[in-house]
Structure 1
Amino acid sequence: MDWGFVHRAWEKWASSNVGSYGEPLKAALLINYDPTGPSRLLSTIAEQEGIKANPIELSEFIDFINRNKPQTESFVVGPNQYIVTSIHESWFCARCVNTSKPAGEGAIVMQTTAFLLVVLYDGSIGSASRAMVAADQFAWQLSRRNL
C-alpha cells in the first residue's frame, strides 16, 4: 500500500473539494476496507475532512456494508441517518432522513479496491451531481494505483 500517495492525493483533493463555502462537499471520509481480507483486519479511518467519525460509528457502518442489503436498511454517519436511493456497481447514493435543512442532505459511498470513500453534501439534484463528480475524481486517482 502506497500510503504516501494516498495521503498526498487526499490532501490535494480535499483542499479543493471539501468544507469551504462553494465547494461540492461538506465532509468526506476515507476508510481502508478490503472485503476479501482476513476478518481480523479491522477497517480504520485513513483520512477524514469536515467530520469527526468515531470507531463505533465506523464499526456500524462497516457492518452495514458487509451485510450487503443497502436497499432494506439505513446507515448512520455523524449525527445523520441515511437511506439508500440508488445502487450502482461500485457505489451508491443516499438521502438523509433526519435533516432539518430545507434542501436536504445526501451521501455518496464509493468502493475502490482497498477503500470506501464516503462523501456528504448539502442540497438536492445539482449538489448531488457536483458531489458525484468530486467523489469520482478521487476514486479514479485511487483506481489508477489499484487502491
Structure 2
Amino acid sequence: MDWAFVHKAWDRWASNSVGTSGQPLKAALLINYDPTGPSRLLSTVSEQEGIKAKPIELSQFVDFIKRDKLQSESFFIGPSQYVVTSIHENWFCARCMNTLKPAGEGAIAMQTAAFLLIGLYDGSIGSASRGMVAVDQFAWQLGRRNL
C-alpha cells in the first residue's frame, strides 16, 4: 500500500473539495476496506475531513456494506441516518432521513480496490451532482494506483 501517495492525494483533494464555503462536500471519509481480506482484519479510518467519525460508528457502516442489503436497510454516519436512493456498480447515493435542513443532506459512497470513500453534502440534486464529481475525482486518482 502506498500510504504516502494516499495521504498526499487526500490532502490535495480535500483542500479543494471539502469545506463549508463553496466546496461540493461538507465532509469526507476514507476507510481502509478489503472485502476479500480475512474477517479478522478491521477496517480503519484512513483519512477524514469535516467530520470526527468514531471507529465504532464506521464499523457499523462497514457492516452495512458487507451485508449487501442496500435497498432494505438504512445506515448511520454520526447522528445522521441515511437511506439509499440509487445504486450503481461500485457506488451508491443516500439521503439523510433525520435532517433539519430544509434542502436536505446526502451521502455518496464509492468503493475502490482498497477503500470506501464517503462524501457528505448539504442540498438536493445539484449538490449531489457536484458531490458525485468530487468523489469520483478522488476515486479515479486511487484507481490509477489500483488502490
Q: Same fold (TM over 0.5)?
A: yes
Question: CA RMSD, aligned part only?
Answer: 0.5
Q: SS at the partner of 2:53?
A: coil
Gap regions ≥5 residues in structure 2: none
Report the counterpart of residue 66 of structure 2 in structure 1.
Answer: 66
Report the counterpart of residue 41 of structure 1 in structure 2.
Answer: 41
Per-residue CA deviations over 1:111-131 (Å, capped at 9, x if unaligned) read 000000000000000000000
Report the counterpart of residue 16 of structure 2 in structure 1.
Answer: 16
Per-residue CA deviations over 1:22-74 (Å, capped at 9, x if unaligned) read 10000000000000001111000000000001011011111100000000000
Report the counterpart of residue 125 of structure 1 in structure 2.
Answer: 125
The equivalences for 1:96-135 within 5 A come to 96-135=96-135
Code of the residue aligned with 2:73 in structure 1: it is: E
Q: Distance in 2 between matches of 1:53 and 1:45?
A: 8
Task: Tell me which moved more, 51-60 or 101-110.
Answer: 51-60
Q: Distance in 2 between matches of 1:115 and 1:56?
A: 17
Between the two proteins, the alignment pairs up a number of residues equal to 147
Percent identity of equivalent pairs? 78
Code of the residue aligned with 2:131 in structure 1: it is: A
Q: Distance in 1 between matches of 2:110 and 2:120?
A: 12
Q: SS at the partner of 2:99?
A: coil
Q: Distance in 2 between matches of 1:146 and 1:82?
A: 29
Code of the residue aligned with 2:130 in structure 1: it is: R
Q: Distance in 2 between matches of 1:80 and 1:101?
A: 12
Q: SS at the partner of 1:12?
A: helix
Once superposed, which parts of structure 1, at least 4 consecutive aligned residues long, lie more than 2 Å away? none
Q: Distance in 1 between matches of 2:126 and 2:48?
A: 24
Gap regions ≥5 residues in structure 1: none
Code of the residue aligned with 1:103 in structure 2: it is: A
Offset of residue 20 of structure 1: 3.1
Report the counterpart of residue 137 of structure 1 in structure 2.
Answer: 137
- TM-score scaled by length of structure 2: 0.99
Q: Distance in 2 between matches of 1:109 and 1:62?
A: 11
Q: SS at the partner of 1:29?
A: strand
